[in-house]
Structure 1
Amino acid sequence: MSKAGIVAALAAAALALAACGSTETPDTGGGGGSAGAARTLTLWHYEGANSAMGVAWAEAIKQFEASHPNVTVKFEEKGFEQIQKTASMVLGSDQAPDIMEYNKGNATAGLLSKQGLLTDLSEETAKRGWDKLLSPSLQTTARYDDRGIMGSGKWFGIPNYAEYVMVYYNKDAFEKQGIAVPTTFEEFTAALDTFVKAGITPISVGGAEYPAQQIMYQLALSKAQRPWVDAFQLYKGKVDFHGPEWTYGATTFADWVKKGYIAKDSAGIKAEDMGLAFMSGKFPIMISGSWWYGRVATESKGFKWGSFLWPGNQMSAGSSGNLWVVPEKSKNKDLAYDFIDITMKKDIQNKLGNAGGVPVAADPTSITDEKNKELIENFNKLSTQDGLAFYPDWPAPGYYDVMVAGVQELINGGKTPAQVLDELAQPYNDNLADIGG
């Protein structure tokens, strides 16, 4: 598509989203729970209804409406890609929602904060004690400086859950091939070889969206240390895209395609289809985030399943969850703050944990499901060992699409790993120059 065509398509998408915005006049007289004119809180998020976050937030909406009798929550479920591509245009209009879930990181929440499209939540965070509920590693993605770089500065978002990338596996398929849960990278690749020899493509992959790039990043992280992550994500040092980390990640990813670990037609597969294929038993492995956990638990039929941390890595893609952000043009900021507050309360956090999420402020003794306990324990292990490495598309605006295109070329064999790494380096270095690096 031409550049003009892309702009036209995005503008059309923005108008479609804008048609759904709140049109309520703000009530400036007191809190949302007081008697007064009817009001509407327009809320956007992109979590499935039976995901852990969807379940917990549905309960939060009920509690919010019960405690704010004059307020109706107008919830609108959006697609991740839909919000990712149109947020700047929609939030710059007068049709912005009052509160929305948005992706964290320099390229997303950081960019919107720099553009003046998000409300500074610093005062509200201190007043309501949200900062006390979030560990320093989880606060990293909530705060952005004047350049839009995460880790310091003002609070522009509040996460109420955490997440990380892991390996989901079909226990029945593993048992059938005599494969034990791998504890080292060598055991992991041996397991993949066993499936290939049995005529089975082992990994369900979505190359058209985020999942494939996260696999490449996991491979790069197997050769990385914290200073490399801080250089790449926080601009605290020079990044060599032809250094050992990215070179190993891209080269090994391409090799995995050649070896049959990853299907050659997966470049066109979306994340949703990747998940459905795993949950229907078509693939024995899915490498993706904890955000799938609740759905895998409820939608996987006909086989036993489990999960484990990527074998051998000190670090994994992961961070706080996505953020509650309040658009600068929100017409009901007071109500948005109240809703965020409810999602941080213990009972909602407990519900999120029991639904298969990773809560940030739950009572550990309230998590009853053994699988869910394992999910949270694995996250705590990563967090304790300083193992949260954020996500590969975060550092620069537009980097998500660059990453998707890069791994698609590796899957298709259209470009060499070195050529793909050149394509990853260019926009990163351009952004570094733009922010004065």
Structure 2
Amino acid sequence: MGRFRKLGVAVALAAITATTLTACGGNDEGGGDGSDAKVLKLWHYESANSAMGIAWDKAIETFKTEHPGVEVQFERKAFEQIQQNAGMIINSSEGPDIMEYNKGNATAGLLSSQGLLTDLTEETEKRGWDKKLSSSLQTTARYSDKGVMGEGNWYGVPNYGEYVMVYYNKDLFDKNGIAVPTSYDELTKAMDQFVAKGITPLAEAGAEYPAGQLFYQLALSKADRAFVDNYQLYKNPVDFAADPLKYGAETFADWVGKGYVAKDSASLKAEDMGVSFISGKAPMIVSGSWWYGRFKDEIKFNWDSFLFPGNKLNAGSSGNLWVVPTNSKAKSLAYDFIDITLRPEIQALIGNNGGVPVAADATQITDPKDKKLIENFNTISQQDGLAFYPDWPVPGYYDVLVSGFQSLINGSKKPAEVLDTIGKPYADGVKEITGK
């Protein structure tokens, strides 16, 4: 997904050590393709009450029923463990046979170019996964030999979608007599009204991904598909001193200056932002559909969501990928598990628990709010509006963006300085990948 958090190498190494101690026996009895393996080691980082967590728990049950002689060693990992240290983890003998991994050039693309992920092209065509996924969703599954997404072989398979939207507290809007916005101008008017009442309208988190995604949403309001192709796929050079990136940074700073975003949010993490909304303190957050299932499960007040007003392009993509490490000793079993997650009954579970399925029967989605979530994603997807995420283009860019937008929130740097700060690593990274 577009979630990004950081954890030290020491913790990841501790996790590997723990895995070594608990995964006694491993898969050593498996054959070359894992067809006779007796153990499937599966890792993912979805919470148990999230849409994907619920659906994948059911998929594990189904897998066990259909493979009675196979033990599933499932481990729920912290996102940070996999995000920051995936190459080291899956290149070890204690890595998983299949795991959830983040899509994009800087993550799945990088590992595929290093030979650490199994080429799934033949299996995808044989099992018909390519027929279940639209071309826009396939973008994040395929990578060139340089690790650039959108072309080349399949190195991962998504089974859900995701996108960034505006979540809002309907009770707070009603209590303060503020209309729910349907346009960009109405959005800023509503935020002005909250500020006038002493309420910070938009919870934010500068220490992790949310701030960068807000910047990207603002930039995308002035962007077109050509910009996305240039920024994400290196079609042409990107000028960080010009719109739409200039507009995004300047507008972000303007929002901080107007009190739409609190300056002390520079040090907050995504969880802090989410809890602020869940507790009923924040009128709005701009974040992804990955929160939806948790909000549905935990929030007690009246809430809803809407697409970022006026945008035809939105941060979003397929969901994270199921990848099979090259070192997997149970590849055949891993393929079977991926296949199960794309079945209609598993896809319906994703949809009925606040997720965005990619191959569900719409008649099986019962909750009106869940249907709206899926319909909004389909609207974006059908108008070619998935613009991926701002940190995807080059390895290590996530940390660059976090640092840059922390500086913008706390006022230590001006927009032009931040754009310079994030522009050079981008250009250097693209040159390293493309040679240009």
Structures share fold, TM-score greater than 0.5: yes
Partner of 1:81: 80
Deviation at 1:181, TM superposition (A): 2.1
Contact 2:256 2:263 in 1 (8 A): yes
Residue 420 of structure 2 aligns to a residue whose secondary structure is helix
Matched to 2:393, the amino acid is P
CA distance in 2, matches of 1:16, 1:332: 24
CA distance in 2, matches of 1:374, 1:127: 33
Deviation at 1:29, TM superposition (A): 8.8
Contact 1:163 1:321 in 2 (8 A): yes
Matched to 1:176, the amino acid is K
Partner of 2:389: 391
Deviation at 1:157, TM superposition (A): 0.3
Partner of 2:4: none
Matched to 2:360, the amino acid is A
Contact 2:347 2:358 in 1 (8 A): yes
1:158 aligns with 2:161: no
Matched to 1:13, the amino acid is V
Distance 1:396 1:364, change over 3 A: same
Distance 1:326 1:200, change over 3 A: same
CA distance in 2, matches of 1:223, 1:80: 32
Partner of 1:270: 269
User: Structure 2 matches for 1:276-315, cutoff 5 A?
Assistant: 276-301=275-300, 303-315=301-313
Match of 2:11 among 10, 13, 16: 13
Partner of 1:48: 47
Matched to 1:376, the amino acid is I
1:263-285 deviation line (CA, Å, top 9, x unaligned): 11111111112111101101010
Residue 397 of structure 1 aligns to a residue whose secondary structure is coil
Deviation at 1:220, TM superposition (A): 0.3
CA distance in 2, matches of 1:141, 1:85: 19
Partner of 1:428: 426
Partner of 1:235: 234
Distance 1:258 1:29, change over 3 A: closer
Partner of 2:121: 122
Partner of 1:351: 349
Partner of 1:219: 218
Deviation at 1:185, TM superposition (A): 0.6
Deviation at 1:15, TM superposition (A): 2.0
Contact 2:119 2:153 in 1 (8 A): yes
CA distance in 1, matches of 2:12, 2:279: 34
CA distance in 2, matches of 1:42, 1:271: 29
CA distance in 2, matches of 1:13, 1:325: 22
Deviation at 1:179, TM superposition (A): 2.1
1:120-142 deviation line (CA, Å, top 9, x unaligned): 11111011110000000000000
RMSD: 1.5
Deviation at 1:236, TM superposition (A): 0.8
Partner of 1:28: 31
Matched to 1:264, the amino acid is K
Distance 1:274 1:30, change over 3 A: closer
Residue 68 of structure 2 aligns to a residue whose secondary structure is coil
Unaligned 5+ residue runs, structure 2?
1-6
Deviation at 1:10, TM superposition (A): 4.8
Matched to 1:52, the amino acid is A
Deviates more, 1:135-144 or 1:22-31: 22-31
Residue 165 of structure 1 aligns to a residue whose secondary structure is strand
Contact 2:206 2:269 in 1 (8 A): yes
CA distance in 1, matches of 2:305, 2:106: 30
1:316 aligns with 2:314: yes
Distance 1:28 1:199, change over 3 A: same
Deviation at 1:11, TM superposition (A): 4.3
Deviation at 1:289, TM superposition (A): 0.4
Residue 265 of structure 1 aligns to a residue whose secondary structure is helix
Distance 1:162 1:26, change over 3 A: farther
Contact 1:60 1:342 in 2 (8 A): yes
Deviates more, 1:419-428 or 1:343-352: 419-428
1:85-112 deviation line (CA, Å, top 9, x unaligned): 1111112222211111111000111011
Partner of 1:3: none
Unaligned 5+ residue runs, structure 1?
1-8
CA distance in 2, matches of 1:278, 1:79: 22
Residue 47 of structure 2 aligns to a residue whose secondary structure is coil
Partner of 1:5: none
Residue 237 of structure 1 aligns to a residue whose secondary structure is coil
Distance 1:256 1:31, change over 3 A: same
Contact 1:14 1:89 in 2 (8 A): no
CA distance in 1, matches of 2:184, 2:72: 47
CA distance in 1, matches of 2:10, 2:93: 16
Contact 2:33 2:331 in 1 (8 A): no
User: Structure 2 matches for 1:324-363, cutoff 5 A?
Assistant: 324-363=322-361
Deviation at 1:26, TM superposition (A): 4.0
Contact 1:13 1:86 in 2 (8 A): no
Deviation at 1:31, TM superposition (A): 7.7
1:8-31 deviation line (CA, Å, top 9, x unaligned): x85423422322155221422998
Query: Percent identity, aligned pairs only?
Result: 64
Deviation at 1:175, TM superposition (A): 1.1
Contact 2:33 2:332 in 1 (8 A): no
1:406 aligns with 2:409: no
Deviation at 1:261, TM superposition (A): 0.9
Partner of 1:149: 148
Matched to 1:277, the amino acid is S
Residue 244 of structure 2 aligns to a residue whose secondary structure is helix
CA distance in 1, matches of 2:273, 2:102: 20
Contact 2:211 2:402 in 1 (8 A): yes
Matched to 1:374, the amino acid is K
Matched to 1:244, the amino acid is D
CA distance in 2, matches of 1:60, 1:360: 16
Runs of 4+ displaced beyond 3 Å: 29-32
Distance 1:230 1:26, change over 3 A: farther
Deviation at 1:373, TM superposition (A): 0.4
CA distance in 1, matches of 2:81, 2:318: 21
